[in-house]
Amino acid sequence: MKEINAKKLRAMWMDFFKGKGHTVISSASLIPENDPTVLFTTAGMHPLVPYLLGEKHPGGNRLANVQKCVRTGDIDEVGDASHCTFFEMLGNWSLGDYFKEEMIAWSYEFLTDPKYLGLDPKRLAVSVFEGDGDCPRDEVSAAAWARCGIKRDRIFYLPKANNWWGPAGQTGPCGSDSEMFIDTGKPACSEACSPACDCGKYLEIWNDVFMEFNKTADGAYEPLAQKNVDTGMGLERTLCTLEGKKSVYETDVFAPIIAAIEKNCPHRYGESDETTKAVRIVADHVRTAVFMLGDEKGVLPGNVGQGYILRRLIRRAVRFARQLELGSAGISAAARAVVGEYQEVYPELLDNGGKIAAELEAEMARFEKTLTNGIKEFEKLCQYLVGDTVSGKAAFRLYDTFGFPVEMTEELARERGLKVNTPDFYAAYAQHQKKSQAGAEGNFKGGMADNTEVITRLHTATHLLHRALKTVLQDENVNQKGSNITEERLRFDFTFGRPMTEAEIKAVEDLVNAQIRADLPVICEEMTAPDAKKQGAIGLFTQKYGERVKVYSIGSFSKEICGGPHAARTGELGAFTILKEQSSSAGVRRIKAVLR
């Protein structure tokens, strides 16, 4: 295997695709902009959905980047060899430009050329779509791989379950994909062994998605006018494969984090399965928490949405840290190690270092109080317990009323020779989730694909609201911290240290409506991020120097960097009404508003 680390892999990726005429774009925020379908950016293509659907990107029609992502749908799997909640995704895109032949040739070149990954071609295997009654067998991709030198017996035809990227919703862009694998050398599990198996013979390293069809409402698949390429290579898993490691936690990105944990506790990674799992969970969750707290749009611990996910990760890290006899100082040291490892690539972590440390320590202190109260309640419960099993209802009450994790209840029960009826606990939990939906994270389905007229109007209104808040509150430090738009309303989070008065709320509402009545034009211009900053545009200026952005001006009232859908004129919006102004988290206020 070629000697490589995360820094080299990122640079290698960027250099390769710049050489193929791609514009390198910055990682988007972990917090999706105006997207109610998902709490966090879950893939590199997520922020690019409008451009995959035909909108023009300032960087052109060939793009590449390294995107920071968070997925927590399989949080219970974290601690095994490969699952992480935070990860980096290497990606490149063709927006109606090159397609299968070029992408496959470049994929082979990047994987096998000694200047890049330098993999032995004999160890590669690929899969393509086998075809069905809806769409044809992907012989174009198979032929392209064969021209590269991949033998036909290493090209596997697999069904939609393995080699198909479905539409964002019931309808929309979709198409086959072609996946690349490294043969580990393990013997085949059977004559039918293929990359579809989970026997460990084949390890996926890259995925090329070819969006070439549009699924219609009647279930038909029509050719797309704009055919796109969307590829993804997970940095951590690729490093693990290239370095021949048994786990992603043994790669260089985790080394300083795990070293900080070991330095502050009496246990060592690898000394037992239980310790190894606990170290991995602490390292992963602290890393993810640091990225959430340090993000440009910043998340703070809370009881709903993104804040709930962050709180859950921190508290889960604390719980497993207890197994390691790792105190809060050790968790803080691990967080500093994360900042140190990533500050060059993601300077926002260094810029927000003080906030990361303060919020992490505050949440750990709150959880220690929760643990103390929960243990007291558990002791009371044990006094009246009949038999040797804590009921699921009692365990859920500890969780729901006192924030006490069921895993802690199980741990305390084991120490006393007791059991917990966990099936009943999870049944109660599922019922609770159905009622509240608080903190539930959906899979990525559509992103800004839902550019309906209502969504477009509400999105435009957030620009007016943002500027109106700065004007009425007479504070240019009032900045957007998050936005969520549905067909019914907009929700806008912003930095401000106190509740707004009724007079201030009315003044903001009146100022927005004045701009709507003025029927101002909404103009889009493309320029570099530094030029946008010079012109006074509102936005997050973390982009690399020279990167082009879209700037939307609403008359002379508002100028903001944005990539979402916009109305042509403010007169299209209708009447703006603020329904509620409330606290979102410490130092952050929230406005809910509608257009009528």
Burial class (CB in 10 A: 0-12, 13-18, 19+), 474: exposed
Structural element, H or E, at residue 175: strand 172-183
Topology (CATH level 3) of domain 6-248: BirA Bifunctional Protein; domain 2 (3.30.930)
Q: Which band of pLDDT confidence, cut at 50, 70 and 90, is reported for residue 207? A: very high
Q: What's the whole-number mean pLDDT along residues 310-315?
A: 91
Q: Which of 215, 233, 176 is nearest to 45 (CA)?
A: 233
The pLDDT tens digits for 238-261 are 999 888 888 999 999 999 999 999
Write down the pLDDT at residue 1: 58
CATH 3.40.50.300 for domain 451-595: no
Task: Kindly report which listed range (4-8, 174-178, 289-293, 488-492) carries the lowest average pLDDT score.
Answer: 488-492
Size (the chain), residues: 596
Greatest mean pLDDT among 25-34, 40-49, 106-115, 238-247: 106-115
User: 41: which DSSP letter?
Assistant: -
Burial class (CB in 10 A: 0-12, 13-18, 19+), 50: middle
Give residue limits of the domains in the chain: 6-248, 256-390, 451-595
Are the C-beta atoms of 239 and 5 separated by less than 8 Å?
yes
User: 569: which DSSP letter?
Assistant: B
The pLDDT tens digits for 98-147 are 999 999 999 999 999 999 999 999 999 999 999 999 899 999 999 999 99
Residue 481 structure tokens:
């911290």
Percent of the chain topping pLDDT 90: 61
Write down the pLDDT at residue 303: 73
Q: Which residues contact 106 (CB under 8 A, 6 or more apart)?
A: 16, 20
Q: Which band of pLDDT confidence, cut at 50, 70 and 90, is reported for residue 441? A: very low
The reply to whether the predicted model has a pTM over 0.85 is no
Q: Which band of pLDDT confidence, cut at 50, 70 and 90, is reported for residue 546? A: low
Are the C-beta atoms of 561 and 538 separated by less than 8 Å?
yes
Beta bridge partners of residue 24, listed in sequence order? 64
Distances in Å between the alpha carbon of 161 and those of 10, 116, 164, 176, 224?
Answer: 30, 31, 7, 10, 22
Write down the pLDDT at residue 564: 75
Write down the pLDDT at residue 443: 34
Q: What's the whole-number mean pLDDT along residues 557-567?
A: 87
Q: Which band of pLDDT confidence, cut at 50, 70 and 90, is reported for residue 445? A: very low
The pLDDT tens digits for 470-489 are 999 999 889 888 788 887 89
d(CA 400, CA 292): 24
Write down the pLDDT at residue 434: 63
Alpha helices in 518-545 (DSSP H): 529-534
Q: Which band of pLDDT confidence, cut at 50, 70 and 90, is reported for residue 176? A: very high
Residue 294 structure tokens:
């340090």
Write down the pLDDT at residue 439: 42
Q: Which residue has the higher pLDDT, 147 or 530?
A: 147
Write down the pLDDT at residue 36: 63
Beta bridge partners of residue 482, listed in sequence order? 493
Mean residue pLDDT of the chain comes to 89
What is the side-by-side order of every strand in the sheet holding 558-561? 522-528, 548-554, 558-561
Are the C-beta atoms of 465 and 508 separated by less than 8 Å?
yes
Whether residue 39 is predicted with pLDDT greater than 60 in this model: the reply is yes
| Residue in the structure block whose two tokens are 């808040």 | 469
Whether residue 155 is predicted with pLDDT greater than 50 in this model: the reply is yes
